[in-house]
């Protein structure tokens, strides 16, 4: 059985819920990611996607320099374990239209598994891989 842990992005960047949306955008660009796990005093509380940022920044009256990530994030993100079945997690993501799930292990964040990771896994399983 293939697992999420084999394909997840490890050591993801995180952002504190009190930081601004502008800081989140900068971190996403700097790290080349589309999803940021959100923490509050080290505890996982949500996830912020590039889609969330775009949706909010396009609204009138929203100042990304002021709006805290905690007000923009999706609370209670779907979490899975590294040993969870790749097929089951991909199916749950597709059914719920999730772009990512957070991978937790021993009470802490172990990684992020995104739709892009799922597509790379699919290509790999079909024997189509590219050098890293």
State the maximum Cα–Cα separation within the chain, in Å, rounded to a whole number.
Answer: 49
Q: What is the CATH number of domain 4-125?
A: 3.10.580.10
What confidence score (pLDDT) does residue 129 get? 64
Contact 79, 104 (CB under 8 A): yes
Report pLDDT digits (tens) over 7-58.
999 877 999 999 999 999 999 999 999 999 999 998 999 999 998 888 887 7
Q: In what order do the strands lie in the sheet with 79-80?
A: 9-10, 108-114, 100-105, 79-80
What confidence score (pLDDT) does residue 47 get? 95
Only one residue has tokens 């800081």, namely 23
Which residues are bridge partners to 59 per DSSP?
none
Pull the structure tokens for residue 93: 């993501």
Provide the whole-model pTM.
Answer: 0.87
């Amino acid at each position: 059985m293939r697992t999420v842990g084999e394909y997840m992005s490890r050591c993801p960047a995180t952002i504190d819920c009190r930081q601004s949306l502008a800081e989140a955008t900068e971190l996403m660009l700097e790290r080349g990611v589309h999803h940021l796990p959100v923490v509050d005093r080290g505890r996982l509380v949500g996830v912020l996607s590039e889609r969330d940022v775009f949706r909010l920044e396009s609204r009138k009256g929203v100042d990304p320099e002021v709006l805290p990530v905690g007000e923009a994030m999706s609370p209670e993100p779907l979490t899975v374990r590294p040993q969870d079945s790749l097929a089951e997690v991909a199916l749950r993501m597709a059914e719920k239209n999730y772009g990512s799930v957070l991978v937790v292990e021993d009470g802490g964040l172990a990684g992020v598994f995104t739709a892009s990771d799922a597509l790379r896994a699919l290509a790999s399983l079909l024997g189509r891989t590219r050098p890293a």
